[in-house]
Amino acid sequence: MKKGKIILVIIAVISVMVLGFISVTLADKKPTVIVVLKGGDTQYWRIMKAGMEKGFKDFGINGKVLVPSESTTQEQVDLLIKTYKEKPDVIITAPISSSVSPTLETFKDVPILLVNTDIPIKNKTAYIGTNNLELGKKAGAFLASQLQPGNKIAILGGDLSNSVFEERIEGAKISLPNAGIKIAYIKTGIPDDPKKIQSVITKLMRVQPDIKGVLTTHDTLALLVIKELEEQGLSIPVIGPDGLTEMLELIADETLPGTMAQNPYDMGYLSVETAMKVIKGENVEKFVDSGVDIIIKENAQHRLNFYEKIVK
């Protein structure tokens, strides 16, 4: 009897240990998702990362967000190759340019999700982000709402190797003429550099002194344009389509009438949610739209408070 009891105790102990081992093993087998962004030192990317990290937590994913040490195509390619060798369940990436396409197309056995920037690759499972053509249309329409038919405006843009910028300009070129606004000046390839902006605005005011508004491809450029216009004693509406904190503050204090805003937090969260659907074998849409918001004085502070909460 005593031996029987000892055997039962031993069996019970072994069973507990085995069950514990199985539980730990199952816990360790959380799905893995690795994100490779194009940058991480600006508020926009920090907000997107916060959305991704919330998604990792909500969906029980073992996830991490990586950023190239330098925002160059080669740095991102090297990081993507390293990521692929880890064999995660899904790779999410915001490509710097279409030059990373050949590398991504070699990743045959790992689903690829693109976030923020869409590029044509054969093995893309989905793109999660903004419809930038529509964003450009809405930005143009919003700028037109601040002006009178027949007014002239300028479009200033960054490097058009970034397809996002090109699509935004194309959208604006549709909506502005439809509203009776004349696009009198377009210049692209402008770096986010104060001295260069000073030169661009000085020339713009010389060749088109009756410009009534400016539309830019991104907020960092818009903010520099606003500052330079102020220094030259000019007060005209400037629209940038990202919705960064500095732009929101200018709207909240009524320096600007409003702007368009992407949703980087939603973009990040939706990309992780889409990854989880892919892991589960569910069908996903080829384009997951993270939406665009119009920001005016009435809702600017609300968004500022939200950003302050999630980005410490």
Q: For residue range 32-41, what is the model confidence (pLDDT) as tens digits?
A: 999 999 987 7
Q: Tell me what pLDDT residue 161 has.
A: 76
What is the distance of C-alpha 249 from the center of its chain?
A: 20
Q: Tell me if 114 sits within 8 A of 271, measured CB to CB.
A: no
Given a cut of 50, the residues of the chain with pLDDT beneath it are 9, 13, 16, 18, 21-27
d(C-alpha 187, C-alpha 225), whole Å: 13
What are the pLDDT digits (tens) for 188-203? Answer: 999 999 999 999 999 9
pLDDT at position 71, please? 80
pLDDT of residue 241: 87
E strand or H helix at 262: strand 258-262
Instruction: Determine the Cα–Cα distance for residues 224 and 247; give it in Å rounded to an integer.
Output: 11
Residue 58 is predicted with a pLDDT of: 97
**pLDDT tens profile 251-295:** 999 888 888 999 999 999 999 999 999 999 999 999 999 999 999
Give the pLDDT of residue 229. Answer: 95
Cα 144 from Cα 155, distance rounded (Å): 13
Q: Which domains does the chain have, with CATH numbers?
A: 31-130+264-291 (3.40.50.2300), 132-262 (3.40.50.2300)
**Identity of residue 25:** T
Q: Cβ-count burial of 101 within 10 angstroms (0-12 exposed, 13-18 middle, 19+ buried)? A: middle
With contact defined as beta carbons under 8 Å apart, do 159 and 216 qualify?
no
pLDDT of residue 21: 45
Check residue 29 and give its pLDDT.
78
Give the pLDDT of residue 27.
46
What tokens does 62 get?
A: 């073992």
Name the residue type at position 94: A
For the entire predicted model, the pTM comes to: 0.83
